[in-house]
Structure 1
């Protein structure tokens, strides 16, 4: 096509340092996010397969990346993938480049036997043509439970390499935080998101479970995620963190917390969208944990 003269289509190029830096440049220019901080955290997800157009100078013009994201949905394992890092430089929009990389990524996922593909977007209308549909997400609120058993707690520091190593080990062996809907694997995105959230607190309970949380303006507990082979009750979490909170907000389905909160529909800017051959919509209110957002 004449409007693609001088451009080169590439895929699976994360192993090329120059191409990775070029992709990082596209994402920083588009979203003002420096993804190269992942280098210090152990590197990008090794399952990632990017699809992109590059110009003759080596600049990344358009990209979408697919990565493995196995899920639990309604208590069953689902072989799923996520799409992220979707962008096109303004100078090259309207030429079909994004449609091309999207179709290449979807074809790749289908060829790999992926049952479902997820993406997060603030422009959901753009993806209906590719078979994606929006899933409603909820957060859960209610009184803070009492009577829990406190465990020993230590605060982790994302600037400490030893703490990052510990987090990586726990993330590799974690239990899904919910049976309604949750990733089985989210190591790289958890670390990346944690590095971007200055108000996030990562508290290690009994050296085997990490609680990712924030404090509300009223002193309430805002629970973002839990990393561990076992999920403690919310009462034990509150007791361990020594929080005198009247209320709790949980940002994922609380079916493992021995606590019931009111499900409140989220109306944020970002929509979670799913493409699948069969209806995999969760049967009960749920949310993708913020630490797994991509």
Structure 2
């Protein structure tokens, strides 16, 4: 029976419009707040993203997706993969279907490094496939600042030119971190924007964009996309609309804020890695690079 199910695993790629629609129907049935419809409408599903699905009567009933990533490990770029949208329709659980699609996805990854971020409720599932948990660190800085100067403009990814600009900065510019990060992940970063989960994208000059927002007395800097090094501190007054006392970083800020403090462990999503040895120093994979 297992061999028959394996044979029915379908790969959904960037050109498979009908199967993409079935995938978009599947996602909110498993992940209640998630959607891929706007992301697909923007044309963000490219050849880096493949969904390995079990399709039954035109419906996707189980899936494991693979995003090809240009990972950075201590400054060295390697090709790796990040898994996402792993699950099974509630009506089809208990039949081993998630195992089937996971095996298909991992077969496609070969011996390359693989990572995924998982809901803590399923942390027992992924070690069965050779994944190991990897701690992620929170970084923060005490920093008093008040608004000053014209606010940094907000950019809208509904605009195709803005999406193209983000893609160029992500692919060709400086990564926000080289300790454990990535390049060229604009289509990953656009997904939380399409779902309304992301903080605003702000423009700092012509060649530096950041995802950032203020909550309470804290500025949250989720990610930085820049062509060249720049003085991030000089822009803080233009990123805030009220006085702040601290900054939280969604990435390892060794480039932009080297004296940032370790502020505990990131417990919002569990990171699992396979065939991947990460830095022994404290690190946080950029939150905008999570699938």
TM bin (shorter chain) = 0.7 to 0.9
TM-score by length of 2: 0.88
* Counterpart position of 2:204: 205
* Counterpart position of 1:41: 42
Q: Matched residue of 2:153: which SS?
A: strand
State the shift of 1:289 in Å.
Answer: 1.7
State the shift of 1:2 in Å.
Answer: 8.7
Q: Aligned pair 1:282/2:279, yes or no? A: yes
Alignment check: 8 A CA contact 1:144 1:235 kept = no
Residues paired across the two proteins, number: 284
Q: Deviations over 1:145-180 (max 9, x none)?
A: 78xxx8993221234444333333323323211121
Please list, as runs of the form range in 1=range in 2, the aligned pairs for 1:91-240 lying within 5 A after superposition: 91-110=91-110, 114=112, 116-122=113-119, 123-144=122-143, 153-197=152-196, 200-218=199-217, 220-240=218-238
Q: Deviations over 1:68-89 (max 9, x none)?
A: 1121112222221111111111
Alignment check: 8 A CA contact 2:213 2:240 kept = no
Change (3 A) 1:258 1:249: closer
Determine the C-alpha separation between the residues in 1 that align with 2:283 and 2:41: 32
Deviates more, 1:155-164 or 1:185-194: 155-164
* Counterpart position of 2:22: 22
Q: Matched residue of 1:167: which SS?
A: helix
Change (3 A) 1:221 1:170: same
Change (3 A) 1:164 1:14: closer
* Counterpart position of 1:272: 271
Q: Matched residue of 1:284: which SS?
A: coil
TM-score by length of 1: 0.87
Determine the C-alpha separation between the residues in 1 that align with 2:255 and 2:108: 34
Q: Deviations over 1:102-151 (max 9, x none)?
A: 111111111xx52x1011111121010111011111121122278xxx89
State the shift of 1:283 in Å.
Answer: 1.7
Change (3 A) 1:87 1:179: same
Determine the C-alpha separation between the residues in 2 that align with 1:184 and 1:199: 19
Change (3 A) 1:281 1:163: closer
Give 5+ residue unaligned stretches, structure 1. none
Determine the C-alpha separation between the residues in 1 that align with 2:70 and 2:235: 27
Alignment check: 8 A CA contact 2:74 2:279 kept = yes
Give 5+ residue unaligned stretches, structure 2. none
CA RMSD of aligned residues (A): 2.6
State the shift of 1:195 in Å.
Answer: 2.8
Change (3 A) 1:281 1:259: closer
Determine the C-alpha separation between the residues in 2 that align with 1:187 and 1:91: 34
Alignment check: 8 A CA contact 1:145 1:259 kept = no
Alignment check: 8 A CA contact 1:51 1:64 kept = yes
